[in-house]
Every structure is written in structure tokens, then in C-alpha cells.
A and B are shown apart, each in its own frame.
Chain A
Amino acid sequence: MSVTHELPRDVFIDCVHQAAQRDKNIYFLSADLGAKALDRFRAERNGQFIHAGICEQNMIDVAAGLALEGKIVYVYAMAPFVTLRCYEQIKVALASMALPVTIIGVGVGYSYDDAGPTHYATEDLSCMRALGGIEIVTPCDTQSVTITAHVTYTQPALRYVRLDRVFLPSVYLPNDTRFLADGMAEIEHGDQVCLITTGYMVHRALEVSKVLQGAGYRIGVVDLYRIKPIDVSVLRRVVERYECIVTLEEHFLSGGLGSAVLEACADAGISRSILRLGIPDQYRFENGGRDYLHRLVGLDVPSLTARIAEFLSRTE
């Protein structure tokens, strides 16, 4: 339980660090991304923390070698660099051999808002989702980050953990782990519009649902914590009460969360009108911060509520 505004990465790394003090088989590699918690881990100087250099490709291959030797391994860098920069390494050295390595990507979506497209991770989900046998989760608050970290060392597997750069307010109460078993959690209930989202956008969805509820819409919000694999039977159970579905992501629409939901609905025989909201198919170079970028791409509250209302007027 955290009462301070700890960054997701610090929460996660502190959990792994504590586990690593008990289990000498845990190894943590960073491609030169830091964290306050990592400074504490590094200070151990027992070889369990490895600075990989700014060498994401080699970091993945070294992680594979360690995992083949029976180690529980973490690789850590900014989200675009620890995914796309070393994508083929992840495919060949980790995914094809199904090695228990946790890939921690910090700064998904527009998290690094003042940095530009090099640092945006707006296609990581679609790329990583294409790999065979990988699990992908996006925690949306401190509780879900903590639980995620716990699972990565108690049930090691190939996972991509998508962390936001900034502190995110609480969605779940301490000890609430319902998102874990189901891979998703209905955090607002309704029966008209099921708004499915993940990570940072969970908080945006809660703002949107507040506005739409005020306007008389019966809107629910689902945190799709685990984007791969999606438990189709859970999805059916959750969405069958709703008339239609809206997906919301800080990611390109090609292959992202919306695509994953469409695929799962098709597989489950769920027949609903679906509106996908995400980033238009274009890189942005404007300064002004995350909220400003969201206004530009239509992911701000007024744009989203207007688009959802318009969608509902068409589907009625």
C-alpha cells in the first residue's frame, strides 16, 4: 500500500528488489533507464543488477542466456526502445523459446509527452501482441503495479509490462486483485455503453463516464488490464449486459487494444456495435504536453464525450 505519489516504475522495482534479496536467481537488466528504486537495487553490487549499456538488442539476448540458465530475468528501458528497437531479439531469443523474462516498458503512449515520436510508444501494443505466447499487461494504478510485480516473480513467464511514466491515482483498493484472474475489471457499471480501456486511459475513461452519466447515459468502464491473452468467456460475461462497446486507447488503432477487443468479440460471437477511439494514423511533433496532444488527436474529455454521444445517436 502506498500513500505517497510513487512512480509506477519505483513501485515495481522496489517489489522486484525485495524479491531479489530473497531469491538470488532474480536478475534485473537496465538499458540505462534509471529510477530511484533502481538506485537502491544497484547499491547491492552483488551482480543481480546488470547495466546492459544502451544496447537493447544485446540486453534481450543476455536475458535469454540468463533465463536458459534458470534465472528469473527482468529487462527494463523506455517502452519504445525495449520493444521495437529489439523486436527481433524478443521474437527469436525470448518468445520462440518461451523464456520467463519480464519486459518492463516505461512510458507507454504519449507518456514522454515533451519528447516526440522517438519516445512515444503508440504502436508497442500491436507489435508485441503479434508475438507468440507473450502476456501483455498495463497496470493503471499503484495497486495493480504492485500485484503485477508480485506475479512476475511468483509465476515467471514471458510478459510485457507496460508502465506509465507518471504517477496514476488509485483505481483499486488495496487487496483488490480481481483484474488479475479475469484479466479485466468492470470498475464502473452500466448497461448501455461499455467503455473498454487500459492504463493511463482508464483515468480518462472515468472522467468521460462521469460526464456521460451526467448526461443520462448508462455507461460502464472496463479496465482491460491484460490485453493478451483476453479471456473470451470473461469478456462475454462483462459485455453481454451492454448495448454497445467503445474502446479507448492512447495508441494507434492498427492492432491495438481496440483491435484486440474486436478479435475477441468475433471469437466469442459477441455481436455489438463497436466504436474504436485512439490515436489517428500519424506521428505528432507538437509541443505542449500530454493533455494538449490529447486535444490535438481527439482523446480529451470533450472530444471523447462528443464522439461517443454521436456514436450512440447512430446506433440507436
Chain B
Amino acid sequence: MPTNVTIEDLQRKSHWLRQELFELVMRRKKGHLPSSYSCAEMVIALMYGGYIRGYPSAPRHPDRDRLIVSKGHAAMVLYPILADLGYFPNDELDKFATPEGRLRLYADHTIPGIETITGSLGHGLGIGCGYAYAAKQDGKDARTFVLLSDGECYEGSVWEAAMFAAHHRLDNLIVIVDRNGLCILDRTEACVKLDPLDDKWRAFGWEVLTVDGHAYRSILPALDRAVAHRSGRPMAIVSHSVKGKGISFMEHQALWHNTMPNEDQMQQARRELLDNCIDG
């Protein structure tokens, strides 16, 4: 890990972020908690682990590393983190999804720290290819990270971009596939099979690593490898995760994608979130 942040620090961030996101969503009963929870550790590792070099007071700084949360329904996972890092004031979180606020259900380029509009799946990787290609042309060492959902890999444009990145040897481009196994209606393997997903990326010319998406001890070595490698091949990290991780009744449940808990469920969720579900 490029900083002196400890795994325990990151675990504390996990605990904090789940609670922050829960209250953010419950405030307006808008948002996608389960999809945000499945990628929480990965995003925390990127943002606090020193992998993303950011400039909160100059969000568009040319030397920054780029992170595109291409699964835009979960881009809100970044909101508490960006506020915490100083990209915008904390009270923006209170104004989420209100006319006074700038934070929305789906993130876009008008929000400091957000690179590009997302929400329609299948755009982030192509845009990330544009970033990575420009960085190579301009001789910059900035990296581009693109967080995809596994369901997003149904989009043909993802594979168009995967070919493009491999052909242009964009080894400054790192994809993370949040493999939580669910789309809106069902398990991906019951809808249209995605497996073997890591072999698909490999066949498209990518280096592939597989991690436990809720264990920093698994995530951090993979990110270390990803940022160190210059093999000429782009890197995909398939992050096996649990949709809804941290709230027992949401975990692995497709129908909680965009469903709001009732009062009893809210109380239960808050009780469960008092305990940190992340210990690895």
C-alpha cells in the first residue's frame, strides 16, 4: 500500500461508510444501498489507500488519478468519501437529492471529484480508455480506474472497450469488476450466464486478478500489483462481493436493489450496522 494507512484504519472506514450511506439513503428514501455496499471496500481502498492521487481543492488537476464508478447507480458510494476528503462541504450529504443539493441519485461531472456522467451502464470503460490513451500520448503517469458492475458486463460496449484497451496496451488502465452476482431481477447466472468472467477478460488480452471484495488483505495486494505493473496489458480485478454486504436481510437479495426498508427493517439495519461486518 502506497501510504502508511493500516488495514485497521480501512476497516474503520468500512464501518463508517456503511452507516453514512445508510443515513444518506434513508434521508430521502432514494439510492442504491446494496450495490454501494458490495463495492465499498474496493472504493475505500482506492480512495484512502493511496492508490488514487487526488487533489480535493483542484478536482480536475491534470496529474490526478481518475476513478470512474461506471456502475453509476452505486456512484453514491463516493459521496461520503468525497465530502470527507474535502471535495465538497459535508452538508451536501444532508442535501442529497434535494433542490438545494448538488448530489444526485446518479453521479455526474458537475459534482467535484466525479469524473464523468454515469448511470447508463457500459460507458465508463470507453471513457476510461479515452483518459488512459490521452495520458499515454501526453506522457503522463496518471492512472485510470474503472469500476464496473458484473451486470454491466452484459453491455456489448464494455467488450468493445476491452478490445480497444488491450490493443492500445493501456496498462495505465485498471478495471475492477464488482462481481456481486446479482442484477435487478435475479442472479446473473440465472439471467444470462456471465461465467467464466475472468476468462473472458483474459481472452480479451487483459491481465486478471481475483480478490475477495470485502477483505482488505485480499484487495490491497491486488491493487499493489495493479499499480506496479507495466506489462503492456490492461489489468482487470474481478472482485467477488456480496450485494448488500452488512445488512443481513439485503445480502444476496436481488429484490433489494432499489427497495426501501420499512421502519422495523430500518431499525434492524441500524442495529446491524453498529457492528463492523469487515474484519479481513
Closest to A67 in B: B130
Binds B, one of A48-56, A159-167, A302-310: A48-56
Q: Which of B115, B123, B125 is the one whose CB lies under 8 Å from A89?
A: B123
CB of B117 within 8 A of CB of A96, answer yes
CB of B160 within 8 A of CB of A63, answer no
CB of B123 within 8 A of CB of A62, answer no
**Residue B105 at the A interface, CB < 8 A?**
no
Closest to B120 in A: A92
- The 8 A CB mask of B121-164 against A (1 = contact, 0 = none) is 01101111111111111100000000000000000110011011
In the complex, chain A residues whose CB is within 8 Å of the CB of B167: 53
**Residue A71 at the B interface, CB < 8 A?**
yes
In the complex, chain B residues whose CB is within 8 Å of the CB of A47: 133, 136-137
**When chains A and B are docked, how far (Å) is the Cα of A55 from the Cα of B164?**
9
Q: Which of B117, B127, B156, B160 has the most CB of A within 10 A?
A: B127
Closest to B131 in A: A65
Q: Which of B109, B130, B138 is the one whose CB lies under 8 Å from A63?
A: B130
CB of B133 within 8 A of CB of A62, answer yes
Q: Which of A61, A67, A88, A96 has the most CB of B within 10 A?
A: A61
CB of B130 within 8 A of CB of A66, answer yes
Assuming the contacts A58-B126, A58-B129, A61-B125, asked whether A88 and B120 have C-beta atoms less than 8 A apart, the reply is yes
**When chains A and B are docked, how far (Å) is the Cα of A50 from the Cα of B167?**
11
Q: Which of A58, A65, A88, A96 is the one whose CB lies under 8 Å from B160?
A: A58
**When chains A and B are docked, how far (Å) is the Cα of A62 from the Cα of B165?**
10
CB of B126 within 8 A of CB of A62, answer yes
Query: Smallest CB–CB gap between B179 and chain A, Å?
Result: 22
**Residue A234 at the B interface, CB < 8 A?**
no
**When chains A and B are docked, how far (Å) is the Cα of A19 from the Cα of B123?**
29
Contacts of A42-79 to chain B: CB distance below 8 A = 47, 50, 52-53, 55, 57-58, 60-71
Residues of A within 8 A of B (CB): 47, 50, 52-53, 55, 57-58, 60-71, 88-89, 92-93, 96-97
Other 12 A-B pairs with CB < 8 A, given A57-B156, A61-B123, A88-B120? A53-B163, A55-B157, A55-B163, A57-B126, A57-B160, A58-B126, A58-B161, A60-B126, A61-B130, A62-B127, A62-B161, A65-B130
